[in-house]
Every structure is written in C-alpha cells, then in structure tokens.
Amino acid sequence: MDKTSLEQERSEILKRYRSLLTVCRPTIKKEDRKRIRQAFDFATKAHKDHRRKSGEPYIYHPIAVAKIVVEEIGLGATSVVCSLLHDVVEDTDYNLDDISEYFDEEVSRIIDGLTKISDIFDQTTSIQAENFRKMLLTLSDDVRVILIKLADRLHNMRTLDSLPPKKQLKVANETLYLFAPLAHRLGFHAIKSELEDLAMKYTEPEVYQTILQKLADTKEERNRFIQSFTKPIKKTLQQENLGFNILARTKSVSSIWGKMKKKEVPFDEVYDIFAIRIILHSPDEREKADCWKAYSIVTDIYQPNPDRLRDWISTPKANGYESLHTTVMSRTGKWVEVQIRTARMDEVAEKGYAAHWKYKESKSGESGIDKWLRRIREILKSAETDALDFIDDFKLNLFSDEIIVFTPKGELRTLPVGSTALDFAYSIHTQVGNNCLGAKVGHKLVPLSHQLKSGDQVEIITSKKQVPKPDWLNYVTTARAKGKIKSALKEQKKKQADEGREILERKLKQFKIDQTQENIQKLMTHFKLPAPLDLYYEVAIGNIGQKELKAYAIDQEGGGILSYIRNPFAKSRDTQQQPPASHDPIRQQLKDKPDTLLIGDNMENLTYKLSPCCNPIPGDDVFGFVSIQDGIKIHRNNCPNAVQLLSKYAYRVVKAKWTTSKSIAFLSGLRLRGIDEVGLLQSITNTISSEYNVNIRNIHIDTHDGTFEGEVMLYIHDTQHLNNLIKKLKKIKGIQKVSRIGKMES
C-alpha cells in the first residue's frame, strides 16, 4: 500500500476513535479516558497487519463495537476497554497474561469470557451447544460478556455484505436462532428488531426488499396521517400541563412480515404498520398516574378496542419492559396502536437491563437482571448432559412469552406460556413437585397436565406417598421441572436396581450361573440392554423373570430353543422399517436427470432429494443439507426448518444452484381465495391447463357463504413460469388472492 493510502487510513482510524470518545463523554471520567486510549493503542498495534473481509483495517471493527456498547447498550468505560480488546487474544499473538499486565484483573476476566465464546458457532453441533452453556456460565459472573458479544454480532450483521453467500446464510440463521431472542430477553428491543431485519435481508431477500420498497412508497401518506391523528392528543396533553414527546415508530420489516404470515394478509392490510408513542416526563411518584391520565385523554378522543389493552405498567414483562398499549379507531376508519410510557420506561425499553442499573432496585432488593441470572443458574444446574436438549430448553424457557399466575396467598409467579399445573408445583419447590397429586385452579380440581393462563390462582394438592412417574415428562415444559423429574426418576431407578441385583443373584444361583462381570455382559447382550443398571431394573420390575432367565440358560447350553427372545424395549428399534420409497413420477424424473441442480463448492452433479417440507423448484434460492439417512436434501432458503438447520448444523450445509432445464416439471402448490362466481372452477382450470399448458395434479375448492378457498397442486418448470401463472389467475373475476403455498400472499 502506498504512503498516501496509509496516511488516509490512519486519519480515518483517528476520526473513528474521536467519534467513540464523543459518545463516551457524558458518562466517563477523566481517568477513564486514559484507560480507553491505552486500550485503543494496544488494539491498534495488535491488529496492525489484520484486515476484514471487506479489505478495511481490522481496528474499525473493535471501535464500532465499543461505540455500540456505549451508545446503544449504555455501558461504561470498562466495557469500552474490553470492546476495543475483545479480539486481541483470539486473533493475535497476545495472551491473557499480557492483558492482565497492561490492564486489570476485571478486564482480563471479561476478555477471557469473550475469548471462550468467540468460536461457539465454528465447531460441530454438540460443541456449539456445549460452548453456549459455558458462555452462559460466564454470563452468570459478569453480564457484560454477553452484552459485548451482542454488540459484536450486531456490527458483524451490519457489515455482512462482504462475506460470501453461504457464510451470510449461516451467520444470519445463527443470529435468528440465538442472538435476536437473547437481545429480546435482555430487553434490547431496538437491537432485537435490527438483528431480525438484517438476518431477513439475507434469508428472504425478495420479501425484505418488497416490504422495504412498500414502506418507502407509503412514507409521505403515513406522515400526513400521523400529523392529523396526533394533533388533538397534543392539544389536550398541553391543556393538562403534562410534559411529553410524541413519536411515530414504524414497525420493523421482519415484524411486518411476521404479521403478514400470521394473519395471512398482504402488506396493505397490516393495520399496525406504525405505532404512536407518547413519552411522558413524569417524576417517579407520578409515573403510573400520569400514564393512566394520558390513556384517558387518548380514549376520550378516539374509541379504543377493549380487547387490545395491554397493561405492562402494573405488571412489567420479565425483561423489564413497562408500557401501556391500546389500539384505537382513527377518524379515517383505521386502527392505530398507541403506546404510553415515561422517559425512564422508554430508556429501559430501548436499552434493556443496562438501563435498569441506573434506577433503584425492587422492594425485595433484587433487580430484574438478578432474577434473570438466578433463573439461568437454575437451568444450568439442572441441565441434562445432552447439550442440544439444553439449548432447546434454554430457548423455550428464557426466550418465550410469559404468563403471570398466583399462589393461594396471592404471591406472583412468572412462567413460560404453555406451563402446566405440574410446572407451577416445581416452581414453588422440588418436593412440592415430586409429591404433587393434582391442583385446583380457581377452586376447581384440574389434572397435572392442565395448561395455566395468566391470572390463574393455583393451589397444589400433595401427598407424601406420591412420587414422580415417567409420563410426567410429557406434562411439563419448563427446564426446571424436566430436570427435577429426570433426577427423581434416576434416583428411583437406582433404588429399584439395587433390589434387582439381589433378585438376579438369587435366580442365577438356581440355574447354577455365577454373577460374574462376564455373565452380566452376556445377559445384557442377550436382552439388548445398554448397562448393568438397566438389567437390574428390568429384573426388579418383573420384565425379566424366571421364564426369561430359564430361556437364557437353555440358550447358553446350546439348545438355542428361545434364542430369539428379545427385550420388549428393544423391539421397536429392531423392527423399525424405513418408509416406502416415493412413487412420485417427478422424483423419478429428477433421479433420471440429476443435472438440473449443481451442488457443492465445485458445483458438481450429485444425487439429491427435494425436501417435502418446502418443495423447492428451479428459480428458488436453495441450499443442500447432508442428512444421515437420505443423503443430500434440497431446501429453500426460507424453508420453515432453515433457521434450525443452518444454525445448528451449518457444517452439514452445502451450496446448491439451479441450472435451466425446461424439460422437467416440478410439483408446486397455489392457494386461491375470493368470491364464488358461476363458472369459476372452469376459468381456473382453463387458465392453468389450456393457456399455460400446465398439468394439474389435484385441485380442491371449498365454498362457504358466497366465498371460496382452494388449493391447486400442479407441475411447473420454474419460479418465472409460476409467477406468470399467478398474475394471470389474479385477473380472473372473483379471485382476490393467489399465493404460492409457503410464500408471501399476492
């Protein structure tokens, strides 16, 4: 690189560093500036020969992460120092001893935590999951580790364009799988929304760009509506001497897409594209009263929807979110969501638990972050050895929506949605769960599997004679309850196995067989059992008795009379059959002509199968997944299973790209909706078969009170062919919506 270019880069690095100091200025002390400068100089020297994939100097990345940590998360000087140094141990010749020598133990400990988790997603599945558990153990010591990691991921997502497409997909799906839910759980709404939007940009680029364009096209009209809607609210709030700001927040692209899919409506029919936010400047003692006063003003002007009131001020969400939400009818006939909160509540909503640290703790002396970390520790303690199960339990319990239930004495308990009476019992105490016979909800007797709803008051009925049973695992959803039940069942099994050992010894003596290690191994092999504990347990519960042991003894003597006796628990494994091969002619056609898809880094002609979960066709963006039983299976990038496959099993994903082949047809499906007209079915079939020369596999139409809904399965060549057909079908009188099954409504 020439001297001029180097000078320009040095100038740009200093410019970015000064920009970081500017955002730090309101929160850091004079002595902190020296520590930050020291960290900046250290990182600049360590990364001097490193460049990012984009070709930029590597130091741009740590500076950007440090800026996010201050500006968007709200952390202080130590976190800035650690952000600047977060990749030094991982990517350079410096080690933790060097960090300890130049800085302090606190910085060294956080850098150690960041280094341990930096390669979570670059290993095999089980190692990913195991490292994720280690990351959370580190988090329980210092939450700044995960907050800096979150900032690191956010900047990587903002600069993802410089990576190759396969890597983009992998990183985007990891983000959807873990980092976006984690940001949500920590209360960082803005970061969570941005991560989801950035991920969607790579996982569903067409949909993303379509919604982005529609938001841009309707911006002017939206602004005029907002001005008109808020004018009378502003006037009345001023008359009541309430200090306030009114903002209009447009929903994120991913949130709009989620609504479109959930409600099965096009963009134009999503009524809450934006929300009006009223932020009140109220003292602590008047926060709640002022919020309800503002609510009263809004609902005096506009008619509210009684089913859409959400009070998260009286009962804040577990991530600390406080706000009043209502949906009101505007004078133009549109529903509008209005959010009412104070400036403190708004800061907590935007900056999550980091903002909590600035405010007083709860009456119990425990802050929201402490409660969350306590729950993490519980799950880590009770986690099973299967790391993937652990990840799923962790996501289920800490990233899910929650319900609020009450004990008979009125004590409040927070549980994940879908929790049962048995989950509630284990949330009170392990012994209460283990001895649980049933429950009363609202004084009415319910079974252990009864799903609870917010507001339920639950009384647990116990008996000392009751013990956990294996089918209880089907009744619970929380990781705590599952862990406690598995632990109790294991203890029971051990006790019964001890009894079984003695019974087996007595029975073997009758057949003159010694209970040696060799004979126990032979028995395990004969009855197809994995461990001695299982053998003793089967004897204790009577599954292996006198008759079975006699058959074994005869078999050992060489008679072979009953050598085919098998353990009933192994039967399902032995007799399991593979599903019959598909006779679909299209699958056969693909088998005969495998050159329609190129697979792998070298774009070779390899054998593959089309995945039935998303039915990919030529023109779709696809990837290959190496499955254990079926070889390479082809999925669409926006397949419902893509997030899990690409984040959990990225090492088994291969590139795949369609080549043009008009001679082969692929099975696809269309969903049609509209108003029932005479001759409608004939018009549909004529358009498909005659005008577009497409073969129909099957067609199903239902009519109801003058409307119809139907599905057509047909064979088409590629996405262009299908899109042209959709446009033609939409012109038929009576048809209002046509969509590809599994794609965005048209």
Q: Which two tokens stand for residue 253?
A: 């692209």
Q: How far apart are CA 632 and CA 600, in angstroms?
A: 10
Same domain assignment for residues 693 and 565: no
Domain finish residue from 611, 631, 657 = 657
Q: Count Cα neighbours of 39 within 13 Å in the Cβ-side half-sphere.
A: 29
CA 22-359-134 angle, to 5 degrees, is 80
Rounded to 10 degrees, the C-alpha dihedral 442/446/448/450 comes to -80
Give the pLDDT confidence score for residue 522 in this predicted structure.
81
200 in any annotated domain: no
615: phi then psi, degrees, rounded to nearest 5? 40, 65
Give the pLDDT confidence score for residue 390 in this predicted structure.
55
Q: How far apart are CA 178 and CA 374, in angstroms?
A: 20
Q: Which two tokens stand for residue 241?
A: 């001497």
Domain finish residue from 606, 629, 657 = 657
447 in any annotated domain: no
Same domain assignment for residues 245 and 271: yes
Which helix (H) or strand (E) covers residue 211, if one does? helix 205-217
Q: How far apart are CA 327 and CA 307, in angstroms?
A: 9
> Any idea what the CATH number is for the domain that residue 339 is in?
3.30.460.10
> Any idea what the CATH number is for the domain that residue 705 is in?
3.30.70.260
259 in any annotated domain: yes
Same domain assignment for residues 264 and 342: yes
Give the pLDDT confidence score for residue 560 in this predicted structure.
36
Count of domains in the chain? 5
Q: Which residues of 217-231 are buried (b: 16+ CB within 10 A; e: fewer)?
A: ebeeeeeebbeebbe
pTM of the model: 0.59
Same domain assignment for residues 629 and 693: no
Given a cut of 50, the residues of the chain with pLDDT beneath it are 119-128, 140, 357-366, 383-385, 559-595, 744-746
Give the pLDDT confidence score for residue 372 in this predicted structure.
54
Same domain assignment for residues 131 and 269: no
Return contacts of 120-129, CB within 8 angstroms, 24+ apart: 121/170, 121/174, 121/647, 121/650, 124/651, 125/388, 125/648, 125/649, 125/651, 126/387, 126/388, 128/648, 129/387, 129/388, 129/390, 129/391
Give the pLDDT confidence score for residue 261 in this predicted structure.
84
381 in any annotated domain: no
Domain finish residue from 534, 569, 604 = 569
Same domain assignment for residues 648 and 540: no
**What is the domain extent for residue 671?**
666-740
186 in any annotated domain: no
Give the pLDDT confidence score for residue 570 in this predicted structure.
38
Same domain assignment for residues 703 and 639: no
238 in any annotated domain: yes
Same domain assignment for residues 14 and 62: yes
154 in any annotated domain: yes
Same domain assignment for residues 8 and 157: yes
Same domain assignment for residues 112 and 254: no
Give the pLDDT confidence score for residue 665 in this predicted structure.
66
Judge whether 635 and 614 are in contact, CB under 8 Å.
Answer: yes
Same domain assignment for residues 216 and 146: no
- The distance of Cα 65 from the centroid of its chain, to the nearest Å, equals 23
Q: How far apart are CA 391 and CA 372, in angstroms?
A: 16
> Any idea what the CATH number is for the domain that residue 97 is in?
1.10.3210.10
454 in any annotated domain: no
Same domain assignment for residues 240 and 128: no
